[in-house]
Structure 1
Amino acid sequence: MREEARTMVATRSTTSRRCLTWWWLACCCFVSWVASSSWTAAACVAVTSLPGFDGPLPFSLETGYVEVNESTGVQLFYYFVQSEKNPDLDPLLLWLTGGPGCSSISGLAHEIGPFQFAAKRYYSGGLPIIIYRPETWTKVSNIIFVDSPVGAGFSYAATEEGSKSSDTNAVKQLLIFLRKWLHDHPRFSLNPLYIGGDSYSGMIVPTLTLAIDESNGSEEKPFFNLKGYIAGNPVTDYKIDEDGRIPFLHGMGLISDELYEHAKETCGEKYSAPSNAQCAHSVQAINDKASRVLLKIWANDETVRESLGVQKGTVGEWKRCNRDIDYNSDVRSTVEYHLTLMRKGYRAIIYSGDHDSRVPSISTQAWIRLLNLSIADDWRPWYVDGQVAGFTRSYASNNLTYATVKGAGHTAAEYKPKECQEMFARWISGTPL
């Protein structure tokens, strides 16, 4: 069966390198092709080399599309990297980038994935150089990076109606994506499953995690071996997140005492919805005070797109974050989602770069306090190589871990890759930070 599948796939165009590098990829795609017509076979590509990388890739990379809405032709593009440790036993992490509308290449190349761009000082025109990142989270986990919602990265819709999206719609599509992806990749169906992401994905990650949990109570297949979720610098509650920004900026010395005190007095410490003209003026003045080229060049190169298996004519100019998508942010707070997941016993780690002014750590700690969880391990430093990497606290018999990452900004792993990799590796193995 395996040999027949490999032979069939090998006869296709060698330029696309469709699913012929690893036998399991050939088998999963072949099985998907002959399966029930209710399933659309994923168009997967085994990527063995990338423009800008010297030599064959030292990690396994698969890319592809999964159709999540047949009537509107919505295709979500993904990058899948196997664990370098033990792919058959290590967790499977579905990773989402924020925005909404930011490409998952950001997570793949800038944050937790296995390659990165060489320093800009080495760039002299043409394609930028990409190199292996030793701090990749794929050292201990399989990771699927998904371009979601539609319009992000290389994901696209065949119709105008399909181009519209929302938090609720994105969650529905991601649930379909994951169900179809696991159907086409049965090898990973029993691996412990985690949902993760950062920034705006804080609105999607707990919502999707709860949707997966509820799906397990239905008769739909496959059953998801869901264990928990991960949220980095997460947008969680618009009011709480925004109200924490100005105290954070003042505490970091980024705005003057006078400006802060005036805002505090005129706004009554409620900055998310200014109730008077003086408050609005103060908030605007503070915002005015506080106010990636290589990736764009690389992702818009035709040879790169061909290597990744991107379908021609589906996406115009690639943007790291597409601000033009038709998107409705219809979830205003996910605090209750977190509380429900805690009560169901799922594990979670929430972390904050302590230099993030967009979703400051004091805002994240404020909504965590609203969960009213008992403290299992109180506030303490955690270390990497004998140095303080941040501070941490765990709650409710260690179901929830919160950690700060010292010196990191909004997407923490982009600033402190080694510390974040160590944090993830300890947490995913059940070891205290």
Structure 2
Amino acid sequence: MARIQLQQAWIVGLLLLLLIQSLQPSNCEMGSSSRISSISSGTADGTEEWGYTDVRPGAHMFWWLYYSKIILQTDVPLVLWIQGGPGASGVGFGNFQEVGPLTTDLEPRESTWLNVAHLLFVDNPVGTGFSYVDNTSLLSRNNDDATADLLAFLWEFFQIHEALRTAPFYIVAESYGGKFASQLGVALQRKRISSTLDFNFQGIALGDTWISPIDFLFAWGPLLKSFSEIDEAGNNVLLRFAQAAEKEMMKGNFTNATLIWADMEEAVLDLTDNVDFYNLLQHETSSDLSFYGTSLEKTAARHLRVTQTTNLTQVMNGPVRKKLGIIPSTVSWSQSSGAVFGAFFGDFMKDTISQVDELLALNVNLTIYSGQLDLICCTAGTDAWLQKLKWAELTSFNKAHRSPLYCSEGGKTAAFIKKHKNLTFYWIMDAGHMVPTDNPCMALKMLKMITGQSTENVKVQAG
């Protein structure tokens, strides 16, 4: 633990430096004289729309809507994609790297989720991607702030898009986005129950989400050891980090716990020769890591899942920016928002298990999915926080039958599924942190099942 104590002051200094660099006006600020009111634009054929919504005075959230070309049904679902980080751009990563109509090479993506639903991407929290604030004091600082902004955005979005109010509305979240989505879902369901919700909220999917950080920290050591990445001595080193973080959390010192998490990630890299946190079968190279100047920048960027995305940055600030036509000249899309990440530093290690419990108690259709090769939000950690739920049906869920799923008849096993009441869990094979990128066929099939568009016959039985 001496190493942790000695490094904390050093890391604080790096954090402050990162924040100073990230809070320059060219990245996420705009003077009041250049303030843009809520505006929108779109393609001539009406298949895409995008714009800014002022979720608070001086806080401008960017969104991008794609309409599905499905013509065989009238009740096409609408999926809101919430990215992680905090500070990763859904408009960039989720859109061009995972489920949108085009790849980062601006070529058509066969596995786009537009084959199943309309897609809505947001750059959340404000300060992320093309979203911006007039003053850095307006950045969200915690989950409550971010949830309030998302609620404000959705209210305005559905006021403008009346035709989409009846569309089955689903939220799909990845990584840190799960913390936003779980609290947002509770707020929406409460409004639905009180008959004050004017759109058709149907469910939430949490994909490799950072719901309970401490459970992942405790899971990393045993998982890495099982993959021959570390030995028992290395496992003990990582265990001490997790215990130290837990001790700080129990005291309410969540900022200190975040600092220990940052130290722990560096220790993982040292012990494993730079294992890829997003795919246990791969290792990062020195060139992957050299793009970032400081240790903390590497840690933040890694959690934002932005390694090896230089081409995406060029695409977003080049042809995409030109196409959109409404991005202020002082706003630049970046690979990671250090400002947003730093603003959430004290909230980072807090969990939202209670919100997941409430989602289930409020009868929200909840899906959890996990890529088997993910480390950062590994399946073992996900199962650990799942077992902490106070949901009355948890024992029955644990006893439910787990069935295999296939992408094609006669193909290899692509996933396993377990379902009980309003909770469904998918174990996704051959996938790391970004499931739609690593196993696009299964991800698309899963979405069809979530939205009720698949005829898959899944056997469900109690123990």
Normalised by the shorter chain, which TM-score bucket?
0.7 to 0.9
* TM-score normalised over the length of structure 1: 0.76
1:136 paired residue number:
112
C-alpha contact 2:53 2:62 (8 A) present in aligned 1: yes
- 1:235 paired with 2:210, answer yes
- 1:421 paired with 2:396, answer no
- 1:101 paired with 2:76, answer no
2:171 is paired with a residue whose SS is: strand
Deviation string 1:37-94 (CA, Å, 9 cap, x unpaired) is xxx985221136xxxxxxxx9x922111111112xx1110011011221585111111
For 1:338, give the aligned amino acid.
Answer: V
Choose the corresponding residue for 2:416, options 387, 391, 411.
Answer: 391
C-alpha contact 1:245 1:359 (8 A) present in aligned 2: no
Provide the rounded CA distance (Å) in 2 between the counterparts of 1:249 and 1:170: 33
C-alpha contact 2:189 2:362 (8 A) present in aligned 1: no
1:323 paired residue number:
338
List gaps (5 residues or longer) in structure 1: 1-39, 49-56, 118-128
Aligned CA-pair RMSD:
2.8
- 1:401 paired with 2:401, answer no
1:346 paired residue number:
364
1:412 paired residue number:
435
Deviation, 1:270, is 4.2
Change in 2 beyond 3 A, CA 1:74/1:252: same
2:386 paired residue number:
368
Provide the rounded CA distance (Å) in 1 between the counterparts of 2:66 and 2:245: 39
Higher RCO by CA contacts (8 Å cutoff, separation 6 or greater): 2
1:68 is paired with a residue whose SS is: strand
Provide the rounded CA distance (Å) in 1 between the counterparts of 2:265 and 2:53: 43
Deviation, 1:166, is 2.4
1:349 is paired with a residue whose SS is: strand
- 1:80 paired with 2:103, answer no
Deviation, 1:192, is 1.3
1:156 paired residue number:
132
Provide the rounded CA distance (Å) in 2 between the counterparts of 1:388 and 1:412: 15
C-alpha contact 2:140 2:146 (8 A) present in aligned 1: no
Deviation string 1:336-392 (CA, Å, 9 cap, x unpaired) is 111111122111111111111101001111122222522274223221112211222
- 1:165 paired with 2:181, answer no
* TM-score normalised over the length of structure 2: 0.72
List gaps (5 residues or longer) in structure 2: 1-35, 249-259, 275-308, 459-463
1:307 paired residue number:
323
Change in 2 beyond 3 A, CA 1:287/1:257: same
Change in 2 beyond 3 A, CA 1:216/1:274: closer
Deviation, 1:155, is 0.3
C-alpha contact 1:42 1:64 (8 A) present in aligned 2: yes
Deviation, 1:271, is 6.9
C-alpha contact 1:88 1:188 (8 A) present in aligned 2: no
Deviation string 1:385-419 (CA, Å, 9 cap, x unpaired) is 12211222112x2x111112112111111211122
C-alpha contact 1:89 1:191 (8 A) present in aligned 2: yes
Choose the corresponding residue for 1:226, options 197, 201, 216.
Answer: 201
Choose the corresponding residue for 2:99, options 112, 121, 135.
Answer: 112
C-alpha contact 1:190 1:225 (8 A) present in aligned 2: yes
2:294 paired residue number:
none
Choose the corresponding residue for 2:172, options 196, 207, 229.
Answer: 196
Change in 2 beyond 3 A, CA 1:219/1:427: closer
Deviation, 1:288, is 1.8
1:33 paired residue number:
none
Change in 2 beyond 3 A, CA 1:78/1:343: same
C-alpha contact 1:79 1:144 (8 A) present in aligned 2: yes
2:374 is paired with a residue whose SS is: coil
Structure with the higher helix share, 1 or 2: 2
Give the paired residue count: 362
1:357 is paired with a residue whose SS is: coil
Change in 2 beyond 3 A, CA 1:97/1:284: closer
Change in 2 beyond 3 A, CA 1:65/1:285: closer
Q: Superposition pairs for residues 1-20 of structure 1, below 5 Å?
A: none
Change in 2 beyond 3 A, CA 1:380/1:253: farther
User: Once the two structures are aligned, what percentage of the paired residues are identical?
Assistant: 26
Change in 2 beyond 3 A, CA 1:218/1:309: farther
1:4 paired residue number:
none
Deviation, 1:257, is 4.1
C-alpha contact 1:243 1:272 (8 A) present in aligned 2: no
- 1:259 paired with 2:282, answer no
Provide the rounded CA distance (Å) in 2 between the counterparts of 1:191 and 1:93: 10
For 1:417, give the aligned amino acid.
Answer: P
Provide the rounded CA distance (Å) in 2 between the counterparts of 1:309 and 1:259: 51
